[in-house]
Amino acid sequence: MEYDLIIIGGGPAGMTAGIYSARQKMKTLVIAKAFGGQMANKSVDIENYPGFEKISGFELIQKLEEQMRNKGVEVFNDEVVSLKKENDVFSVSTKSGKLFQSKTVIFATGAEPRKLSVPGEKEYVGRGVSYCTTCDGPLFNNKVVAIIGGGDAGFEAAIFLNNYAKKIYILEYGELIRAGKDNQDKALSSGKVKIITSAELKEIKGEVFVKSIIYKDKKINEEKSLEVDGVFVAAGYEPATHLLEGLVDLNDKKEAIVNFETLETKTSGLFVPGDANFGKVKQIVVACGEGATAVIHAYKYLN
Amino acid sequence: MNKVRLFSTPICPYCMTLKRFLEENGFEVEPIDVSSNEEAQKEMVEKTQQTTVPVLEINGNWVVGFDRKKICELLNISD
């Protein structure tokens, strides 16, 4: 079966594209592992999405997903493993072995948590190492955890984990904490949080589950160990664009190069809205706007 | 009769996606919140050796994450 449009990704750009494509009566399929994108991992309320004084990421995802589904958009929950274009037809394959085809594609995979690339990280994913605080945080009730990254995401994770963990270390690579004062105050108010700056994570160790981390204290150039049960990674995000290689020009950060008027890439009929492109403003509302723009231009391309 | 249990946490979007997928295929499940049910959390972690959600138990088989292919096979869902 051939679709007019396949939308890959279920973050704000992808879901808004779904809503707009339904309104344009385009035969559309949305393929996403899950809905929400980075909003799924947002552990404090969103306060800058128009129409809501404040709303949790979880609630906003539910509202967007319902709005999209109520318009009759077809959804397939799975991971996309390849994207090709031959003879003006896009072929999209998924991890479970499905193949879908379409005339246009909106690639809205956004960004994914940056890996730490230290020994033990891969081995202990799901066994103490987590990239989703909102999902896995509640499993660390009365445990000791480390958050890697002293930016706002790290402190927001600490605010959330204050509800569960008994002790929280925040490790920041730089000499200074980068998080805003408000997030720092909220995180520190519990008295459970200890901040360690100039800390370079070297290794995650354990047996079946994580038991400790090793970091270098760069102030004295000495390696130290901390006993922890969990490691929450908050070291920023990187664009999830590896499937675009060959079809789209990527910059040195692996962000997709697009025409910002249309969000189209050098491959005609292939659009990249949201955090996967090289736009400098990474915001939910911008991703939504770009999702809408991409659909309108995909519609023009088809007609 | 299939026996399906979904282990989840309260604001886990991946868990919601899995719940909806099961419902769309005719399997009504009441998620077990492992953040408040310590016994269930202990059982889940012991059986899977993992500290992550969502987790499904289907007739004694444990599946970590939304593994579409495996879940369809275990529940005879034609995909």
Q: In angstroms, rounded to a whole number, what is the distance separating the alpha carbons of residues A173 and B47?
A: 36
Residue A64 domain flag: yes
Of B52, B64, B12, the residue nearest A40 (C-alpha):
B12
A134 contacts on B by Cβ (under 8 Å): 9, 11-13
Position A81 scores a pLDDT of: 98
DSSP code string of A215-260: EEETTTTEEEEEE-SEEEE-S-EEE--GGGBTTB-B-TT-PBP-BT
B6 contacts on A by Cβ (under 8 Å): none
Residue A121 domain flag: no
Q: Locate A95 and state its tokens.
A: 């991890």
Number of domains in chain A: 2
Position B72 scores a pLDDT of: 95
Residues A11 and A149 reside in one and the same domain:
no
Q: Which CATH superfamily is domain B4-74 in?
A: Glutaredoxin (3.40.30.10)
Residue listed under structure tokens 């770009």 = A290
Average pLDDT over residues A258-287: 97
Cβ-based burial of A232 (10 A; exposed 0-12, middle 13-18, buried ≥19): buried
Q: Chain B within 8 Å of A77 (Cβ-Cβ)?
A: yes
Residues A168 and A203 reside in one and the same domain:
yes
Percentage of residues of chain A with pLDDT beyond 70? 100
Residues A136 and A276 reside in one and the same domain:
no
Residues A9 and A68 reside in one and the same domain:
yes
Residues A229 and A294 reside in one and the same domain:
no
Q: Which of B13, B21, B34 has its CB closest to that of A139?
A: B34
- Give how far A43 is from chain B: nearest CA, Å: 9
Q: What is the CATH number of the domain that holds A217?
A: 3.50.50.60
| pLDDT band at A270; cut points 50, 70, 90 | very high
Residues A112-143: pLDDT tens digits?
Answer: 999 999 999 999 999 999 999 999 999 999 99
Residue A122 domain flag: no
Residues A67 and A19 reside in one and the same domain:
yes
| pLDDT band at A42; cut points 50, 70, 90 | confident
Residue A124 domain flag: no
Quote the crossing angle between the two packed helices A152-161 and A181-188, to the nearest 10°: 30
Position B11 scores a pLDDT of: 87
* Domain range list for chain B: 4-74
Average pLDDT over residues A151-155: 94
Position A211 scores a pLDDT of: 98
Residues A212 and A294 reside in one and the same domain:
no
Position A163 scores a pLDDT of: 95
Average pLDDT, rounded, for chain A: 96
B47: alpha, beta or left? (left if phi > 0; alpha if psi -120 to 50): alpha
Position A43 scores a pLDDT of: 83
Q: In angstroms, rounded to a whole number, what is the distance separating the alpha carbons of residues A9 and A102?
A: 15
DSSP code string of A97-139: S-EEEEEEEEE---EEEPP---TTTTTTBTTTEES-HHHHGGG
3-class DSSP state of A15: helix
Position A222 scores a pLDDT of: 97
A36 contacts on B by Cβ (under 8 Å): 13
Q: Does B14 sit within 8 Å of A126, measured CB to CB?
A: no
- Give how far B1 is from chain A: nearest CA, Å: 25
Q: In angstroms, rounded to a whole number, what is the distance separating the alpha carbons of residues A112 and A133?
A: 14
Residues A63-91: pLDDT tens digits?
Answer: 999 999 999 999 999 999 999 999 999 99
Q: In angstroms, rounded to a whole number, what is the distance separating the alpha carbons of residues A5 and A90?
A: 9
Q: Which residues pair with A213 in a beta bridge?
A: A204, A226
Please check the confidence at residue A1 and state whether its pLDDT lies above 70.
Answer: no
Position A96 scores a pLDDT of: 94
Helix (H) or strand (E) holding A148: strand A144-148
> Which residue out of A15, A133, A135, A164 would a mutagenesis test of the B interface target, given it has the greatest number of B Cβ atoms within 10 Å?
A135
By the 8 A CB rule, do A9 and A284 touch? no
Please check the confidence at residue A243 and state whether its pLDDT lies above 80.
Answer: yes
Position A41 scores a pLDDT of: 85
| pLDDT band at A44; cut points 50, 70, 90 | confident
Domain that holds residue A84: 2-113+238-302
Percentage of residues of chain A with pLDDT beyond 90? 98
Q: Does A136 sit within 8 Å of B16, measured CB to CB?
A: no
Position A71 scores a pLDDT of: 96
Please check the confidence at residue A246 and state whether its pLDDT lies above 70.
Answer: yes
User: What is the Cα Rg of chain B in Å?
Assistant: 12
Residues A219 and A293 reside in one and the same domain:
no
Residues A80 and A8 reside in one and the same domain:
yes
Residues A135 and A229 reside in one and the same domain:
yes
Position B3 scores a pLDDT of: 86
- Give how far B43 is from chain A: nearest CA, Å: 12
What residues have CB less than 8 Å from A302, skipping those under 6 apart? A4, A5, A26, A103, A104
Residues of chain B with pLDDT under 70: none
User: HSE-up of A152 (CA within 13 Å, CB side)?
Assistant: 9
Domain boundary among A233, A250, A279: A233
Average pLDDT over residues A80-103: 97
Q: In angstroms, rounded to a whole number, what is the distance separating the alpha carbons of residues A38 and A60?
A: 12
Residues A154 and A256 reside in one and the same domain:
no
Position A280 scores a pLDDT of: 95
Residues A36 and A176 reside in one and the same domain:
no
